[in-house]
Structure 1
Amino acid sequence: MEKTKKFKVAVIQAGSEIMDKEKGVLKTVRLIEEAGAQDAKIIVFPEAFIPAYPRGMSFGAVVGSRSPEGRKDFRRYWDNSITAPGPETRAIGKAAKQADAYVVIGVIEKDTAGSQGTLYCTALFFGPAGELLGKHRKLKPTGSERLIWGQGDGSTLPVFDTPYGRLGALICWENYMPLARAAMYEKGIQIYVMPTADARDTWTATVRHVAAEGRCFVLSCNQYSTKSMYPEEIASRTEFKELPEEMSRGGSCIAGPLGELIVEPVYGEEAILYAELDLDQIVESQFDFDVSGHYSRPDVFQLTVNEKEQTNTIWNK
């Protein structure tokens, strides 16, 4: 595939329309249109943008018990999660086509192949023809996320060959899994998308490390969200009294293949971060370090990745 060496990307730092997938899709479409009008060819959204990363919500769960109110919160979360493909992905795909851009967006996805009661934290990939190219399901939810999300498997670890480089994603703390990163490097990833819910300073260090280690461009995207964005009627709302108004401060950024920050982290606001990338910089960076090429030692180390779909097993429940 012929490559376009220089192109613009957009990282969208915005808050979800929490627990409202219809409004969430409308906001997504509007932001794609805005970024597309600036000629962005790759447009990236945060983790769990539709319908929400439910920061601060307990779902009425403590060790040994769950509350009826918490179950209702989960049902609302489930009701506003999406299927892929489905009507929501068709609307997003249409917007991607109109923008003539690749779109990567974090969603909460309903399982339609199994029990239908399991949700996954998923990154969806759309092409400029409006097609849903594929998905990546988060392999390991972190901490309390395991209460509400199932585990993905190796069947959704795609890296797509595009005119703007090889595009793929790992979600949030998957990027602390060395072998998951190694799998992406082995696939030749060049545009490495990192949707996240982590706004700490240590995350920026991770972004820079992955960019330098993988000799790739890293697009890290987080939400900016506040307590007032949450619906009053959710049961966990009463638990928010002691929480700060700013629930997630953002911190989205873009790093280059030597680990340098092309766009510094943005905090405290919704914003769209733009940058022009040049694929020739990847080749230049690999002069002295190519993680899956001349700097690898396949005679010493081998990586085995099981990319088969694991149906009806404990791993996807």
Structure 2
Amino acid sequence: MVQHLTIGLSQSRTLSSLSLTLSALWQTTKQAAEKGVSILLFPEAYLGGYPRTCSFGTSVGSRSERGREQFLAYFKSAVDLGDTPEGACDDWIENKLPLNGDTGRRGDGTRQYLENVARETGVFIVTGVVEKAGGSLYCAAVYVDPRRGVIGKRRKMMPTGSERLIWAQGSSSTLKVVTTTIKGVRVVMGCAICWENYMPLLRYSLYSQGVNLWLAPTADARDTWEPLMRVVACEGRCFVLSANQCVKQKDLPSWIIPSRADGEGLGETLSDPLNPPKSSRLVGDDDHFVSVGGSCIVGPQGKTLAGPSWERDNDLLYIEVDFEDCERGRLDFDAVGHYSRPDAFKLTVEGLDLNPPP
């Protein structure tokens, strides 16, 4: 049986409210469905937003009142998926947690909205979210199956740089892959968020579970990102989808830059380590890019199949692929099998079964 599927990603940016962003996600997913896309990835922190350039009024040993107000605004913009701070895993996925007595549900309805979009369009959706649980925020990615609804969620284990100020660390148990069968093709998906892709042992934990579709929602817009995705694809003999946002300064939330007259906060974009110098960096220039994108699709031999996409908002990348290319590639290399020397090297991960799913 032919093992072909069309996979894709959307280089979409967060809009000014959660409701508008969810509406845009629906429209983009409908468009992808019309193109025959079966699996669609959205960027890191797409729902809830990536607070690029914002310092939240902090320095070593000091926090400002204005920074606390910025965090409050960011916290309010985050998504409540109804999970617990420690992560309820299968109980959350299977809707076994207690409901809110007033609303009759858990969370703010975003989970149900995503499930409706997947069901109505027939597209398997994976999207980055900033999730609030208790008093903390988590950078996460949620897997939404058209038939079964939400079947998994990843929480980023190691936030990058200043992200550690605003995002808590997720559990290693969320590295568990998910499986689905689409048009007769069995897909094993694993997700590494942004610079988690630079963590060799984390990569190995996903390879060990037999992943054939690697999802890499990111905020890294440097031209060094695509080579990393090519390494991951070739190392894991898997297809890779990597989606980033493309954002201009004028698209940032007002609470990040409340006043452009005094220029406060603007200078941070000049040395943003996750954004390359592809456009002008004029302080106060609303049209300069604070993230230029760079989304791409890579095949299991390390060849870029689509992208990278630079300075294009709402860019939809998709391609039909043959998932048997993953097995073809393992003729000469299997990072966790015949090339791994398991007699000499072993990896264990707390709370995670590294065996491929049945």
Q: What TM-score, normalized by structure 1, do the two folds share?
A: 0.91
Match of 2:264 among 236, 239, 243: 239
Deviations 1:228-283 (CA, angstroms, capped at 9, x unpaired): 11233445665344444201001000000010111130101120001111011111
Tell me which residue corresponds to 1:12: 10
Match of 2:334 among 270, 290, 303: 290
Q: In the alignment, is residue 267 of structure 1 matched against residue 267 of structure 2? A: no
Report what 1:254 is aligned to.
Answer: 297
1:84 equivalent in alignment to 2:104: no
Q: For the aligned residues, what is the CA RMSD? A: 1.5
Q: In structure 2, how many angstroms separate the alpha carbons of the residues matched to 1:212 and 1:285?
A: 8
> Counterpart of 1:117 in structure 2: which amino acid?
G
SS at match of 1:40: coil
Aligned ranges 1:1-317 → 2 under 5 Å = 5-18=3-16, 20-85=17-82, 86=107, 87-111=109-133, 116-129=134-147, 131-163=149-181, 164=185, 165-234=187-256, 238-242=263-267, 243=269, 244=281, 245-270=288-313, 271-307=315-351
Distance in 1, Cα, partners of 2:317 & 2:265: 30
Q: How many residues align?
A: 301
CA distance in 2, matches of 1:66, 1:97: 44
CA distance in 1, matches of 2:18, 2:69: 17
Distance 2:210 2:256 in 1: 43
Contact 2:53–2:266, Cα closer than 8 Å, also in 1: no
Amino acid at match of 1:239: E
Q: Distance in 2 between matches of 1:257 and 1:305?
A: 25
Which 5+ residue runs of structure 2 have no aligned equivalent? 83-106, 270-280, 282-287, 353-358
Q: Looking at CA atoms only, which structure, 1 or 2, has the larger radius of gyration? A: 2
> What is residue 311 of structure 1 aligned with on the other side?
none
Question: What amino acid sits opposite 2:168 in the alignment?
Answer: G
In 2 relative to 1, CA 126–275 (structure 1 residues): closer, same or farther, beyond 3 Å?
same
- Please say if residues 70 and 236 of structure 1, whose CA atoms lie closer than 8 Å, have aligned partners that are also in contact: no
Which whole-Å deviations, capped at 9, do the CAs of 1:115-136 have from their partners, x for residues lacking one? x111000011000126111100
Counterpart contact for 1:139–1:153, Cα < 8 Å: yes
CA contact (8 A) 2:233 2:240 kept: yes
Q: Which moved more, 1:233-242 or 1:150-159?
A: 233-242
Whole-angstrom distance in 2 between the partners of 1:233 and 1:145: 17
Distance 1:82 1:285, change over 3 A: same
- Does the 8 Å contact 2:51/2:256 carry over to 1? no
Looking at structure 2, the residues matched to 305 and 30 of structure 1 have their Cα atoms a distance apart, in angstroms, of 39
In the TM superposition, what is the alpha-carbon distance from 1:307 to its structure 2 partner?
1.6
Task: Please list every run of 5 or more consecutive structure 1 residues that lacks an aligned counterpart in the other structure.
Answer: 309-317
Q: What percentage of residue pairs aligned between the two structures are identical?
A: 40
Distance, in Å, in 1 between the alignment partners of 2:346 and 2:61 is: 42
Distance 1:41 1:64 in 2: 49
**Residue type of the alignment partner of 1:144:** S
Q: What is the CA deviation profile of residues 28-79 of structure 1, one whole-angstrom value per residue up to 9, with x for unaligned ones?
A: 1111111112121100000000121111011111111111111111111111
Q: Which 4+ runs in 1 deviate beyond 2 A?
A: 231-244
> What is the deviation of 1:4?
6.3
SS at match of 2:190: strand
Aligned equivalents of 2:48, 2:294: Cα separation in 1: 20
For 1:152-210, what per-residue CA distance to the aligned partner results, in whole angstroms no more than 9, with x for missing partners? Answer: 11121121122241111010000110000000000000000000000111111100000
What is the identity, as a one-letter code, of the residue corresponding to 1:145?
Answer: E
**Contact 1:253–1:264 (Cα < 8 Å) also in 2:** yes
Residue identity opposite 2:61 in structure 1: G
The 2-side partners of 1:284 and 1:234 are apart by 48
Is the 2:44–2:243 contact (alpha carbons within 8 Å) kept by the matching residues of 1?
Answer: yes
Code of the aligned partner of 1:131 = G
Moved more, 162-171 or 173-182: 162-171
Of 286-295 and 174-183, deviating more is: 286-295
